Structure 1
Amino acid sequence: MATKHRRYLMYIAQNYSYAILRPLQKVILEQQGEVRWFLEGDEVDGKFLANDEIRLATIDEVNAWQPDAVFVPGNVVPDFIPGVKIGVFHGFNSGKLNRRGREDHFEIRGCFDMYCTQGPQTTAPFLELEKQHGFFKVKETGWPMLDPLFNALEVNPYVDVNDTRPTVLMCSTFSRNLTCAPLLYEQIKRMSQSGKWRWLVQFHPKMSPEIVDMYKALQGDHLTFVETDNVIPLLQAADVMLCDTSSVLLMFLLQRKPVVTFRNQAPMPHLMDLDDKEKVEDALEIALSRPEALMTAIEEYCQFIHPYQDGYSSERVLAAANELIDQGLGGLKRKPMNLVRKFKMRKKLGYWKLGRF
């Protein structure tokens, strides 16, 4: 299962995917493998690439480079590029339902040869899907993005050592049906202006520009609006989170820190969920006191969704990919044709050359 001289493509379509795959890139380079990046679409910005990270600008360049494996923190990847396709997920299962009324986290789109799952919560359902479909494998590895979460930063840009107030991190998803941002705006405005707590605000990159501008206007001595491709320093800097149904709240919980949610789609004992916006401040006060029953529920849930707290999930993902490369795909069924999806992908990427099917 050697990594040396093998080629690994990081295939991304969102800015937050950089932080998901960079811990994996670090391990690959340490083991003398090669890494390239391919950026799909208009929602990912090449300005976030580091100076020493190499981008392949076209599908022709990808095909010429001939990757051995392709890592994807998203839902789809084109079939017309080489390499085994490894799904590493763009977040945890937060219970979001798609247009068909199914949990989007477990939607099988016929693109991947392997899914690297994060913990028992997702492994068991994916193993059942593996039996059902037969054209992919499943390996529980933990999530690469979390490796840095378990290692404190020497200098965190969001920590002010001279400010001893509790820090509240507000995050929100972009979906109009799920986002708490417009509903809680007046409460956030009032609480932030009081100066009782220090506020950090970060939204999903697809959040409505109008809502983003509203919150940017609140910036001052007590509130900072953050736009970043790496949320981990934010998670480490805060004492409590205010959120909705965004999957980022699960990453926050893994630090054994409490989360207050507003109209969460799947409220459970590890969350303090509300449907009355006038109770948000009181709930944050209680959460900051870390009540025993809440913290016990958080610990149990953390063991369920991501038991790996050793910072070595990237090594496990890479080992699983190398094993698949070594074994090949001969034992797997042929993927479904998915002609409509393939056509859409070719149209999106402007690639019409005949090739892999």
Structure 2
Amino acid sequence: MHYKFLIYISYSYALPIGTPLEKEILSRGDSVMWFSDLDDGKTALQGKNNVLDTIKSVVNYEPDIVLAATNDVPDFISGLKVQIFHGFNAQKRPEGNNKFAHFRLRGFFDLYCTQGPSTTSVFKLLQKKHQYFEVKETGWSKVDPLFPIVEKEKNSLPTIMIASTFSKRLSLALHDDVFKTIQQLAASGKYNFLMVLHPKLPNDIKDKWENLNGNHFTYYNTTDLAPLLKKADIMFADTTSAIQEFLIQLKPVVTYRHTFNHDYLINIETANAIESAFDEALNYPEELITNINTFINQLHPYFDGKSSKRVVETCISFLHEDKSHLKNKPLNLIRKYKIRKRLGYFTLKSYSKPYTIKQ
């Protein structure tokens, strides 16, 4: 059977999540189209020739499987609705009852393709409670390009990747003392710096950091982090989910004012501690590496680069499974109205039952 896939995104940072999936789908001889419901994602998709420009064209495409790197997805589109996640559970800050946004249900998905045991276990509990979706652990497509992990040659000049989130309260990129310290360290020639900032950060902040470009500092305006993750010896970050992507390589991360003192991170509270923390991390402390290993085996215990393959195969298998035991998805009238208003497409059609194609 020939399958029609839709990769549904909102922001440019979802492209590296969808691209390995697209490659896998095409290798199977199936069809895949992209759609973004926001301008940022639309701009990022401009160079591609398999993009649906309007929501009407999405409806007419009639996908069999919708892979969503978004928090919600239109209920009036055909197809199995699959949550593929736009990040790891970064544990930036808990919400009520010490819960994290990563586990917030919106009531639109039939299947959650989880990244590893630490998230699968929580979603399985939610599945048992709500009974309108299922959970399958597959690993995460975005990290496929990191594998196989090749041991990096140790250069005399260490390479440090800097990554930052966009939240005003949490972003290291907004702190002048951090900026000045990195500026001084780059000028000293002691380290090579590679920097990437979250697309949502203000342009003046991006410009400020980009102006540091020189022999030992390079700013990258990209959402494709894999090549940078591979180049770096250690990472300097705040609470960005890029931390988890970096840790998968068993490389240390220095964090600036992280909201949690995890034993797999070297967390600092002041800019004065940056240089000594870098030097500590570059020694790859044995206990720290052990803690990182324990953490990533719960986060994402897949090191074969085949998570995209597992996602696609899992979706196709679930598409054909009997789902009569599952309840209807929640009525969700307010969220459904908001989606229709945002997309400018009003219809009474709604797929409340999990989408199934009988073989």
Q: Which bin holds the TM-score, normalised by the shorter protein?
A: over 0.9
How big is each residue's C-alpha offset from its partner over 1:218-272, in whole Å with a ceiling of 9 and x where there is no partner?
Answer: 1111111111131111111111100011111000000011000011112211100
Q: Give the alignment of 1:77-92 within 5 angstroms.
A: 77-92=73-88
Q: Is the 8 A contact 1:167 1:200 kept in 2?
A: yes
Alignment CA distance shift 1:306-1:49 (3 Å): farther
* CA shift digits 1:141-198 (9 cap, x unpaired): 0001111111469xxxxx9x9x752111000000011111122111111111111111
Identical counterparts, % of pairs: 40
1:166 paired residue among 158, 164, 175: 158
How many angstroms apart in 2 are the aligned matches of 1:253 and 1:261?
12
Instruction: Report the count of equivalent residues.
Output: 347
CA distance in 1, matches of 2:47, 2:2: 21
Distance 1:105 1:83, change over 3 A: same
Change (3 A) 1:235 1:19: same
The answer to whether residue 106 in structure 2 is matched with residue 109 in structure 1 is yes
Matched, 1:300 2:297: no
Give, in whole Å, the separation in 2 of the partners of 1:356 and 1:296.
49
Does residue 65 of structure 2 align to residue 69 of structure 1?
A: yes
Q: Within 5 Å, give how 1:318-337 maps onto structure 2.
A: 318-327=312-321, 329-337=323-331
**C-alpha distance in 1, partners of 2:83/2:18?**
11
Residue 356 of structure 2 corresponds to which residue in structure 1?
A: none
1:191 corresponds to: 185
Deviates more, 1:330-339 or 1:289-298: 330-339
Shift of 1:331: 2.3
Unaligned runs of 5+ in 2: 352-359
| Counterpart contact for 1:59–1:81, Cα < 8 Å | no
Task: Name the SS for the 1:37 alignment partner.
Answer: strand
Counterpart in 2 of 1:156? none
In 2, distance between residues paired with 1:66 and 1:45? 20
Match in the other structure for 1:93? 89
By how many angstroms is 1:320 displaced? 1.3
Task: Encode CA deviations 1:272-330: one digit per residue, 9 max, x unaligned.
Answer: 00112200110001100111111111111111100000111111111111122102543
CA shift in 2, pair 1:256/1:213, >3 Å: same
- 2:34 maps to 1:40: no
Q: Measure how far apart 1:44 and its partner are.
A: 1.3
Q: TM-score by structure 2 length?
A: 0.92
Q: Distance in 1 between matches of 2:326 and 2:198?
A: 36
Deviations 1:326-355 (A, max 9, x none): 025432111111111111111111111332
Alignment of 1:330-349 (within 5 A): 330-349=324-343
Report what 1:141 is aligned to.
138
Match of 1:6 in 2: 3
Per-residue CA deviation, residues 101-134 of structure 1 (Å, 9 max, x unaligned), is: 6310000110111100011110000000001111
Q: Is contact 1:48–1:229 with CA below 8 Å preserved after alignment?
A: no
Distance in 2 of aligned mates of 1:9 and 1:112: 14
Q: Note the residue ranges of structure 1 that are not aligned, 5 or more in a row.
A: 154-158
Letter in 1 for 2:56: D
Runs of 4+ in structure 1 over 3 Å off: 45-51, 97-102
Give the distance between the partners of 1:50 and 1:137, measured in 2 at CA: 35
Instruction: Please give the root-mean-square deviation of Cα atoms over the aligned residues, in Å.
Output: 1.9
Shift of 1:98: 6.6
Pair 99,302 (structure 1): closer, same or farther in 2 beyond 3 Å: closer
- SS of the aligned residue for 2:173 comes to coil
- C-alpha deviation, 1:45, in angstroms: 3.8
Question: Aligned residue for 2:123?
Answer: 126
SS in 1 for 2:240: coil
Task: Please give the secondary structure, in 2, of the residue aligned with 1:171.
Answer: strand
Do 1:41 and 1:348's aligned partners in 2 also have CA atoms closer than 8 Å? no
Q: Distance in 1 between matches of 2:65 and 2:202?
A: 35
- Paired with 2:46 and 2:125, the residues of 1 have a C-alpha distance of 37
Cα distance in 2, alignment partners of residues 242 and 356 from structure 1: 45
Is 1:16 the equivalent of 2:8? Answer: no
Q: 1:209 pairs with 203, 213, 217, which one?
A: 203
- Note if contact 1:85-1:111 (Cα within 8 Å) is conserved in structure 2: yes
Aligned-residue offset at 1:210 = 2.1
